Amino acid sequence: MIVNMRYGATDQEIDHVIERVRELGYQPHVIRGAERTIIGVVGKSQAHRSELEALRAAPGVEDMIPIAQPFKLVSLELRRERTVVNVGGVLIGGDELVVIAGPCSVESREQILETARALKAAGAHMLRGGAYKPRTSPYEFQGLGLEALQILREARQETGLPIVTEIMSTEEVDVVSEHADMLQVGARNMQNYPLLRRLAATPRPILLKRGPSATIKEWLLAAEYLLAGGNPNVVLCERGIKTFETETRNTLDLAGVALAKELSHLPVIVDPSHATGRRSLVPATARAAVAVGADGLMVEVHPCPERALSDGPQSLDFRGFEEMMRGIKEPLRRAAAATAR
């Protein structure tokens, strides 16, 4: 339920509604806009619905509207203003397209420092790199763990690029939060509810990848766990879903990106590397993502993809990354011209 307070409602009136919502056993989520305050009422309660609806008569309340979607706090119905997530000074969901780049895995200090310098020079805004890797086979490279986090931190110190890295279990939350600016929930963990609940209580922004077989609704409900638990700084990432097609690693759901933006106020970015599994397809799908309104991109880049310990075939080299960056400027220029018209 959305409680719309009147323009000019007093703090006392707002506090009274919040108190009554709590008394009825629901959780109030207060959104203070420039013009007016909105109180989102979520949760389950034994109270009669009519008791909640009676709040329509409370002083300062203008109206109350039910939220049709099952994801309440994530929904654009509740919050009309788009969320902008600040990651170490980089704004995701604002006016500028944000490009996150880096190797699939952190392999060595030299690899990361060289990559971070090249990416920064080419215009990337953030650095990615896996320290704890979710590998399909237990015999594959599993990541350097803490050593990788320290290397990433050094790269941030030198280049100023904020770091995002994947977190696989609740046990790693403290150590990864200490080193990284943003925590990535990988596709395989999108529905790991104990992890989501724990991450809801961290002050770090979260990059929530869509599960390979998750519907848009399931993806947004996973984000709802984070917001309901108290972390409003969530960025959604489409990384391709499983379909019958086997020529590409996954199928990039571009309509899903546009729909997620239609349904939610959260920023949405696209990972064309995991979506396609092929380096040659990354620039074209990156341009397409920009054209459908993605707020950013996350791409894998390696100094020498043929030697990569993971995801080499889908990684761009530095030259490939520079070319991709040049390529995405064109749809951006066209979009700006269209808005100006």
Residue ranges binding ligand PEP (CB under 6 A): 104, 130, 134, 186-188, 209, 239, 274
Contacts of 15-23 with CB under 8 Å at 24 or more apart are: 16/58, 16/59, 16/60, 17/55, 17/58, 17/60, 17/61, 20/55, 20/58, 21/52, 21/55
For the bound state, the minimum distance from the C-beta of residue 94 to ligand PEP, rounded and expressed in Å, comes to 23
Of 224 and 300, nearer to ligand PEP (C-beta) is 300
CA-CA distance, 282 to 53, in Å (whole number)?
A: 50
Could you give the 3-state DSSP secondary structure of residue 190?
coil
Of 88 and 277, nearer to ligand PEP (C-beta) is 277
Of 102 and 283, nearer to ligand PEP (C-beta) is 102
Backbone angles phi, psi at 58, to 5 degrees: -70, 150
C-beta neighbour count of 245 within 10 angstroms: 9
Q: Give residues in contact with Mn ion (CB under 5 A).
A: 104, 311
209 binds, among ligand PEP, Mn ion, none (CB under 5 to 8 A by kind): ligand PEP
For the bound state, the minimum distance from the C-beta of residue 75 to ligand PEP, rounded and expressed in Å, comes to 24
Cβ contacts of 252 within 8 Å, gap of 6 or more: 238, 240, 270, 272, 275, 276, 285, 288, 289
186 binds, among ligand PEP, Mn ion, none (CB under 5 to 8 A by kind): ligand PEP
Of 20 and 274, nearer to ligand PEP (C-beta) is 274
187 binds, among ligand PEP, Mn ion, none (CB under 5 to 8 A by kind): ligand PEP
Strands of the sheet containing 37-42, edge to edge, are 27-32, 37-42, 2-5, 61-65
Residue in the shown chain whose Cβ atom is closest to ligand PEP: 186
Of 8 and 194, nearer to ligand PEP (C-beta) is 194
CA-CA distance, 320 to 74, in Å (whole number)?
A: 36
For the bound state, the minimum distance from the C-beta of residue 321 to ligand PEP, rounded and expressed in Å, comes to 16
Of 85 and 309, nearer to Mn ion (C-beta) is 309
236 binds, among Mn ion, ligand PEP, none (CB under 5 to 8 A by kind): none
For the bound state, the minimum distance from the C-beta of residue 145 to ligand PEP, rounded and expressed in Å, comes to 15
Backbone angles phi, psi at 130, to 5 degrees: -85, 135
